[in-house]
Structure 1
Amino acid sequence: MGSEDPGWSDWRRPAPTPTQQRNDAWLALAVLCGALVMIVLVNSVGAFAFGDAPSLAEQFAWGAGVTAPLVVRRRYPLVVLFVVGALFIAAQVRHVGDNFVPSMALFIAIYTVGAWEQRRMVARWARIGVVVVMFGWLGFGLVRFLIGPEQKFENAAGPLDPVLASVLYGIGFNLLYFLSAYFIGDLAWLSARRQAELEDRAEQLRQSQEQNTRGAIVAERMRIARDLHDVVAHHVSVMGIQAAAARRVLETDPDLARSALQLVEQTARSSVGELRGLLGVLRTSDEGEGADRPAPGLDELPELVDNARSAGLVVEHGTYGEPRPVPAGVALSAYRVVQEALTNVVKHAEARTVDVRVRFLDTALEVEVSDDGRGRATDNGGGFGLVGMRERVAVHGGEFEAGPRRGTGYLVRATLPTTVQKETR
């Protein structure tokens, strides 16, 4: 979507803010002070713009009248332009001593119409009309100059006739003056429109990124639910088998029945703990392709390490602490974190060595993958990504850390609780 997009060709600039209106008042005050200073200086030197001038008080009045409309220049640009233009000509008719500051006020008025007038066609023709009137007034002055008393150019030394040179100078200077005010105003309007386009694009990009992130989170939650489906199904199956066994031997072998029922109790608690973690995060499940595959766990980590080595990496794999059984859901999440971390290393890190560590802590399982590459990670929607790893760890109430290492490389660390959390009421 560029500046020529039809949707932006009809763009309307927002009304000036209170801050901009206050700035206009300060600008008008500054120009007014400049006008008063210039009038005092010109009268003190006696270098009047038109050879003579009215009283000092009248000149002050004219200076205030020409500059005061600038206070509302952005709110009423057309009105300000016409008022300033009319007062500009009237002040010259009265031969006000200073012509510099009134010219500055007229320049600002023309510029403001180009930069702020909402009706672009009206802005264009209003400025063209004012410029035509000003050149008409200039032509009238030049005619009076040509038919008036002959001017003496005592120090003239150029190749052109002094009168012709004076006329060309006046026309060239005014052309530059009015064209500058006209086109600088248009550039200000285009700059404001492009800024609005950039802000609109930035907002669209932000919304798109949020949507992509939400989509990645939803997709990963569905993937988590599909993976954990196997875990829960396994627990339920075990409970059913053990309960049936306990029922059969309840009268003939009470000890065996008691042992089976204890296993049912332990399995039920483990299942409830995992389901409780899902309740706060997941709202749906995916029974698509791969739902019947056994869920991988810590025993499959050596296979991941071997795959990374086959990609040309030097991989160190170590297990620390006393290995013990952990909930199947925790094992699955640990496996997925290591899997994606190694995938990111292979695809993006440009690393040579990778260190995979599994730590059995007192109440948690910690997995850590670090490399010596460039330390770049990805969160694209096509892979598991940091978003998915963080979501998976959050299911179990764990902690997730990912970021550049000191010096070089990247670190991914996940800490997953292995004890069943008590339900809070």
Structure 2
Amino acid sequence: MTTEPIWSEWRRPPPTPTQRRQDIATALAVAAGAVAMTVLTNSMGAFTSDKTPHLTEQLAWSVALTIPLILRRRYPMIVMLLVGALFIAAQSRQIGDNFSPSVVLFFAIFTAGGWAPNHRAATYARIGVIVVMFAWLGLALTGLLAGPKPAFEDAAGPLDPVLAWVLYSLGLNLLYFLSAYFFGELTWLAARRLAELEFRTEQLRLSQEQNTRGALVAERMRIARDLHDVVAHHVSVMGIQAGAARRVLDTDRDLARTALETVEQTARTSIGELRGLLGVLRAEADTGTDVSAAPGLEQVPDLVANARSAGLVVEHGTYGEPRPVPPGVALSAYRVVQEALTNVVKHAAATKVDVRVRYLDTALEVEVTDDGRGRSAPNGSGFGLVGMRERVSVHGGEFEAGPRRGSGYLVRASLPTSGVDQSGKDGGA
């Protein structure tokens, strides 16, 4: 798995092409608004100074201030410093519109906090710009206080008008700059949390894949051990029958022929089992194999009895004419029923279970249904279903598992038995 980044040193990736196009559109929109505000201000004559430059120069300042926003997320630090310098220069020229430059400066400080790759450097740079702006404000207020005081003819509050004016200017600017800083910080934190969430989501996906592969390998090894037991049984029978045929070959040819026919039939059955075995094995065999007799359909009633002892009402039915099936198929059918009943007992919160074994023309079908929750996988990890599906696929069968309509859960496996006659002989070579 990928090593988790040091999130305190996380660097925000650059903007996407779509975001760059959005910045261009935003800058053009702000520029249009700034031009409109300048025209309106001059048309009203709402100037704060009698030294306001000509309208053409004011429009040039408006465009110069807003155009850097085109690159605000691509080069956020440079744009903030450039806009800050232009802002002070425009204020020095005493242009008529003060609203649009303030909006542009807000955008620049906000973007530097939210998009600068090096967040620590952006923090120092923003603090530096804010300090410079307050120093500029202090100089401006000092200059105004040193000159003739405004009349404040309508003043009626309890504070001195000049003091109130100074406090108002400082408070408004403090709120303005702190808001730009705060929202930039919030944007950066949201982006980092999103990156953390995406990283952990990917880690979880990789972990689930790894766990699923591990469960799959474990189930395949279990299948391999089971099939090994079945094939070992057949090979033992073949050895005994071949030895018997050798001993009576000269004295009882009929008995020798019968023994050899048994060897032939058993060999064909073993070949079918080996095909499944070779389809499963992908690693070295487990040397700790238990070679005890493998369970089959005859042991399904034992599973039903165990489920009943757990407090479940279990119905068990066999449909169709019972007939011998390949041991590997019988073993897989047993394992499917075993796993399904285990899931019901552990996870389904069911009260009633129905176990059905069907002998079809070309297949053996087992089905386990319950009246439990039925809205999710019967076991929390889903590995039981992975194992059952893998086991059925070894024989080229079909597997189905999922919630039933209304309530409950269904597990059904169909295992082909074509080519097997009524005596259990494999009809193919």
Same fold (TM over 0.5): yes
Question: Could you tell me the TM-score, scaled by structure 1's length?
Answer: 0.93
Is residue 332–residue 391 contact of structure 2 (8 Å, CA) maintained in 1? yes
Question: Where in structure 2 are the equivalents of 1:91-130 lying within 5 Å?
Answer: 91-130=90-129
- Alpha-carbon deviations, 1:143-191, whole Å to 9, x = none? 1221222212222222211111111010000001111111221222222
Counterpart for residue 238 of structure 1: 237
Match of 1:317, SS state, is strand
Counterpart for residue 87 of structure 1: 86
Is residue 220–residue 384 contact of structure 1 (8 Å, CA) maintained in 2? no
Question: Could you tell me the TM-score, scaled by structure 2's length?
Answer: 0.92
- Alpha-carbon deviations, 1:339-363, whole Å to 9, x = none? 0100111111111110000000111
Q: Are 2:76 and 1:77 equivalent residues in the alignment? A: yes
Q: Counterpart amino acid of 1:286?
A: D
Is residue 109–residue 181 contact of structure 2 (8 Å, CA) maintained in 1? yes
Question: Where in structure 2 are the equivalents of 1:340-419 lying within 5 Å?
Answer: 340-375=339-374, 376-379=376-379, 385-419=384-418
In structure 2, distance between residues paired with 1:214 and 1:75:
43
Match of 2:6, SS state, is helix
In structure 2, distance between residues paired with 1:51 and 1:361:
102
In structure 2, distance between residues paired with 1:50 and 1:23:
36
Q: Are 2:165 and 1:160 equivalent residues in the alignment? A: no
In structure 2, distance between residues paired with 1:280 and 1:58:
82
Match of 1:277, SS state, is helix
Is residue 373–residue 407 contact of structure 2 (8 Å, CA) maintained in 1? yes
Counterpart for residue 139 of structure 2: 140
Is residue 378–residue 409 contact of structure 2 (8 Å, CA) maintained in 1? no
In structure 2, distance between residues paired with 1:360 and 1:84:
82
Match of 1:197, SS state, is helix
- Alpha-carbon deviations, 1:333-384, whole Å to 9, x = none? 0001000100111111111110000000111100000000011434567x96
Is residue 273–residue 420 contact of structure 1 (8 Å, CA) maintained in 2? no
Structure 2: gaps of 5 or more residues: 421-425
Instruction: Give 1:245 deviation, angstroms.
Output: 2.4
Instruction: Give 1:117 deviation, angstroms.
Output: 2.0
Describe the shift of the 1:172–1:384 C-alpha distance in structure 2 as closer, same or farther (beyond 3 A): closer
How many residue pairs get aligned? The number is: 416
- Alpha-carbon deviations, 1:11-70, whole Å to 9, x = none? 111122212211211111111111112122222222235466322222221111001011
Counterpart for residue 311 of structure 1: 310
Describe the shift of the 1:384–1:7 C-alpha distance in structure 2 as closer, same or farther (beyond 3 A): closer
Structure 1: gaps of 5 or more residues: none
Describe the shift of the 1:384–1:257 C-alpha distance in structure 2 as closer, same or farther (beyond 3 A): farther
Question: Where in structure 2 are the equivalents of 1:1-16 lying within 5 Å?
Answer: 7-16=6-15
- Alpha-carbon deviations, 1:301-341, whole Å to 9, x = none? 00100111111111000000110000000000000100010
Is residue 223–residue 286 contact of structure 1 (8 Å, CA) maintained in 2? no
Counterpart for residue 330 of structure 2: 331
In structure 1, distance between residues paired with 2:164 and 2:300:
91
